[in-house]
Amino acid sequence: MARKLFFSIIVFVIFLGSCKKKSDDIVNDGSNPLVFTSLTPSDSLVVVGTFITLSAVATGEGLTYVWDSKDLNGSDYGTFFGSGSVLEWTICHSDKFIITCTVTDKFKQTASKSIQVRSHIK
C-alpha cells in the first residue's frame, strides 16, 4: 500500500511539473498589437549600381525585420546594406524585382509587405 501511495505521489508531482508554463511563452494581451503600416522605397526605379532607401513602418513590441529581394522568376538578387526598419538596397543588373519585408514582434506575430522596383542601366 505504501509503495502504491509513493508511486501515485511521484506521478502526480511529475504531472504538475509538466503543466508549468514556460517562461518564454509570452502572450500578447492585445494592448500593443503588431501593425505593419507601410513599405516604401525612396524610388521605384534604381540605376544599376546605385542605392535606394527602403523604409518599413510598423508598430508593436520588440519588432524585428527580415528583408528579401527576388526577381520575377523567384531567384534571389540584390544586396541590402544595414538592418532594421530602414536600409539601402542595390542591384547589379537591370530587371524587375520584388522586395519583401517581414516584421515579427516579441509575441511571434508576423506581417509582411512587398513592393516592386525596377532597375536599369544609365
Range of the domain at 98: 24-120
Residue 99 lies in a domain: yes
Residue 88 lies in a domain: yes
What confidence tier does 82 reach under pLDDT thresholds 50, 70, 90?
A: very high
Residue 105 lies in a domain: yes
Q: What is the mean pLDDT of the chain?
A: 85
What pTM did the predictor assign?
Answer: 0.77
Residue 61 lies in a domain: yes
Q: Is the pLDDT of residue 100 over 80?
A: yes
How do beta strands 51-59 and 45-47 pair?
unpaired
Query: How deeply is 34 buried, as exposed, middle or buried, from its count of CB atoms within 10 A (0-12, 13-18, 19+)?
Result: buried
CATH of the domain at 63: 2.60.40.1080
Q: Is the pLDDT of residue 11 over 70?
A: no
Residue 16 lies in a domain: no
Q: Is the pLDDT of residue 5 over 50?
A: no
Residue 18 lies in a domain: no
The reported pLDDT for the residue numbered 28 is 62
Provide the number of structural domains found in the chain. 1
Residue 75 lies in a domain: yes
Q: Is the pLDDT of residue 81 over 90?
A: yes
Residue 41 lies in a domain: yes
Report d(CA 114, CA 69) in Å as an integer: 9
What confidence tier does 122 reach under pLDDT thresholds 50, 70, 90?
A: confident
